[in-house]
Chain A
Amino acid sequence: MRGGLVLIGLLLASVLLSLMIGQVMLSPVQLWTGLMTGTGPASLTLRVLRGPGIATAAGVGAVLGVSGTIFQILLRNPLAAPDIMGFMSGAGLAVICGIAFGLSLPLPLLAAVGGLLAAVAVAMLSYRRDAAQAGLTLILVGLGIGFFTSAASSFLLTRLSPQDASDAQRWLSGSLAARNWGHVTQVFGLAAILFVITALQVRALALLELGDDLATGLGTRIRRARYGLIATGVLLAAAGVAVAGPVPFVALMAGPLGMKITGARQPGGRLFSAAVTGAIVTVLADLAARSVVPGLQLPVGVMTGILGAPYLLWLLAREMEAGDL
């Protein structure tokens, strides 16, 4: 695929850059020595200080990118993404609930339940028999659910002890601080499973993209296929939320940006581009969050927000101009 290698190259470059830059600057040679010998300052950076955070960032970016692209293709709308439609805030709320009420369930499970509940709520509240405005309704209802769940999360923070509340607040704005290899294994393990499940549904996605009638005519059981894809998209988003909190805008931006770079137009290529682009964006956002203010690690969500909000505004303006909104 045209540009696929470019994208992989960009990802490797971003990871390298991110490993080099920080409170202690490291050269590629030092990193190489550290990797090979397992000693020296570079080794500590790789194993503990930067390595796990960067790997987590790449994994989170990849699952969020694929999640967003599934919804964007399925609803044929560039605004359709789990962050915009409230699924990620829903997942975030469930995790905060878990902490507030002392539920000792694994975070990915809580996030998945929260994301799925938010998706069900959005689907039920936007249900119309005449589907003329279906896409827009879905996104607006999703925005509403997103605001509601975020507000509920903020409210629940007041029930927590000051220390817990401050940690939870940080997590809610999307954080990659102090990640360890456990987080890396978790996000990449879930990504591996969910990417295989996504790959099995790519053909159905390509047909649903042509409209319900043609998809049926070409032998798709559209209701089942759509539920399967929505569930996969929500679970991918939840896998990201579970390790890094509801990092905004990566899911929204990764797909269209990746498409620009690779020129992919088919669902398979678009999903691949989105995964790698999501990883690049998140790794670079994490780098910026660590290095913009010396000595202070900002939440990565702050950086993706600063990048993503202008993109969202531009997208809204363009959609309105095209008359699609």
Chain B
Amino acid sequence: MTATALKTELLTLGYRDRIVIQDLTLELPDGKVTSILGPNGCGKSTLLKAMARLIQPLSGHVSLAGEEILKIETRALARRLAILPQASKAPEGITVADLVKRGRTPWRGLLAPWSEADAEACERALREVGLADLAERAVDELSGGQRQRAWIALVLAQDTPYLLLDEPTTWLDLTHQLEVLSLLRERNRAHGTTVVTVLHDLNLAARFSDHLVLLGRDGLVETGAPEKVLTEANLEKAFGLKALVIPDPVTGTPMVVPR
């Protein structure tokens, strides 16, 4: 049993009169790649945002390595946990390098000059996402895949042991989806970074994750290793989907084939 990174206890989330998640208790393993799956509107993104203190729970709480997340000073938390929300819009004309540099803000003192460590973290982040050669290009001139990787570089430069990403592969073609997920897994394997993503594609999630959380319309369906979570019964329960689950011919991880 590995240590717990993020933990929710009787977490209830919602907006005004609509409850999205009710009394969810969940533990995400430390140093692993976890993906949150489920149908549209089940509260995947809401859950991820609550884990990153972007929304206040109606009740219950989230803890990071045993500490309640809302009690951690926001800047201190920004050095430990990074979140990339969905569909961010870059300021007009900003270069990739300048965008990524903003990821260093939590590490910089108010009047501290740009340091060696800051420069290294940015260079490394750009290398990891394969944009080192395009650093001086404007973000709005890039292709969709490159742009998404620029945003990922920003949170990589933030250099945190916990990394949360909301649908990092949306709008990308399959090649770019594979690229993005591979680079996140590499970051995990190389630095032990705990990665938590919200994903839509079940098969990609099974391939790249150590741990899955499957949500249905009525809350948690199953959580654990991909083989345990992606079963025909669980898919029926979460999505109302009749599917065949076979081993992926390439990786051996579960592969979902709708009937």
Q: Which of the four size classes fits the interface of chain A? A: 20 to 34
Indicate if the CB atoms of A217 and B83 lie closer than 8 Å.
yes
Given contacts A203-B105, A218-B158, A219-B75, contact A210 B52 (CB under 8 A): no
In the complex, which residues of chain B have a beta carbon less than 8 angstroms from the beta carbon of A209? 91
Stretch at the interface among B3-11, B93-101, B227-235, B241-249: B93-101
A216 within 8 A of B: yes
Indicate if the CB atoms of A216 and B54 lie closer than 8 Å.
yes
Given contacts A129-B16, A206-B102, A207-B102, contact A213 B83 (CB under 8 A): yes
Indicate if the CB atoms of B74 and A265 lie closer than 8 Å.
no
Indicate if the CB atoms of B88 and A266 lie closer than 8 Å.
no
* Residues 104 to 141 of chain B near chain A (Cβ within 8 Å): 105-106, 108, 110, 138
Chain A CB within 10 A, most for which of B85, B88, B95: B85
Count of B residues near A, CB < 8 Å? 35
In the complex, which residues of chain A have a beta carbon less than 8 angstroms from the beta carbon of B102? 206-207, 210, 218
Nearest chain A CB to B114 CB, angstrom units: 12
Indicate if the CB atoms of B95 and A265 lie closer than 8 Å.
yes
Nearest chain A CB to B81 CB, angstrom units: 8
Residue of A nearest to B103 (CB): A218
Indicate if the CB atoms of A217 and B105 lie closer than 8 Å.
no
Indicate if the CB atoms of B94 and A265 lie closer than 8 Å.
yes
Partner of B77, one of A129, A203, A206, A219: A219
Indicate if the CB atoms of A211 and B106 lie closer than 8 Å.
no
Chain B CB within 10 A, most for which of A214, A217, A218: A217
B18 within 8 A of A: no
In the complex, which residues of chain B have a beta carbon less than 8 angstroms from the beta carbon of A76? 89, 91
Indicate if the CB atoms of A265 and B91 lie closer than 8 Å.
yes
B187 within 8 A of A: no
B32 within 8 A of A: no
Residue of B nearest to A221 (CB): B74
In the complex, which residues of chain A have a beta carbon less than 8 angstroms from the beta carbon of B155? 217
Indicate if the CB atoms of A266 and B98 lie closer than 8 Å.
yes
Indicate if the CB atoms of A217 and B92 lie closer than 8 Å.
no
Indicate if the CB atoms of B105 and A207 lie closer than 8 Å.
yes
Q: How far apart are the CA atoms of A218 and B105 in the complex, in Å?
A: 7
Partner of B78, one of A203, A211, A217, A266: A217
Indicate if the CB atoms of B95 and A219 lie closer than 8 Å.
no
Indicate if the CB atoms of B88 and A211 lie closer than 8 Å.
yes
Residue of B nearest to A219 (CB): B78
In the complex, which residues of chain B have a beta carbon less than 8 angstroms from the beta carbon of A210? 88, 90-91, 102
Residue of A nearest to B75 (CB): A219
* Residues 210 to 252 of chain A near chain B (Cβ within 8 Å): 210-211, 213-214, 216-221
Nearest chain A CB to B47 CB, angstrom units: 14
A200 within 8 A of B: yes
In the complex, which residues of chain A have a beta carbon less than 8 angstroms from the beta carbon of B105? 203, 206-207, 218-220
Q: How far apart are the CA atoms of A37 and B158 in the complex, in Å?
A: 59
Over the window 252-269 of chain A, the binary record of Cβ atoms lying under 8 Å from chain B Cβ atoms (1 yes, 0 no) is 000000000000011000
Q: How far apart are the CA atoms of A292 and B157 in the complex, in Å?
A: 55
* Residues 136 to 180 of chain B near chain A (Cβ within 8 Å): 138, 154-155, 158
Q: How far apart are the CA atoms of A219 and B103 in the complex, in Å?
A: 10
Partner of A265, one of B76, B81, B83, B93: B93
In the complex, which residues of chain B have a beta carbon less than 8 angstroms from the beta carbon of A203? 105, 108, 110
B82 within 8 A of A: yes
Indicate if the CB atoms of B110 and A216 lie closer than 8 Å.
no
Over the window 50-79 of chain B, the binary record of Cβ atoms lying under 8 Å from chain A Cβ atoms (1 yes, 0 no) is 001110000000000000000000111111
B214 within 8 A of A: no
In the complex, which residues of chain A have a beta carbon less than 8 angstroms from the beta carbon of B82? 217-218
Nearest chain A CB to B259 CB, angstrom units: 38
**24 A-B pairs (CB sep. < 8 Å):** A200-B110, A207-B105, A210-B90, A210-B102, A211-B89, A213-B49, A213-B83, A213-B88, A216-B53, A217-B52, A217-B54, A217-B83, A217-B84, A217-B155, A217-B158, A218-B105, A218-B106, A219-B74, A219-B75, A219-B76, A219-B77, A265-B92, A265-B95, A266-B94
Beyond contacts A213-B54, A217-B85: 15 other A-B pairs, Cβ-Cβ < 8 A, are A213-B88, A214-B154, A217-B52, A217-B78, A217-B81, A217-B158, A218-B102, A218-B106, A219-B76, A219-B78, A219-B79, A219-B106, A221-B74, A265-B91, A266-B98
6 closest Cβ contacts across the A-B interface?
Answer: A219-B78, A219-B75, A213-B85, A217-B83, A219-B106, A265-B93
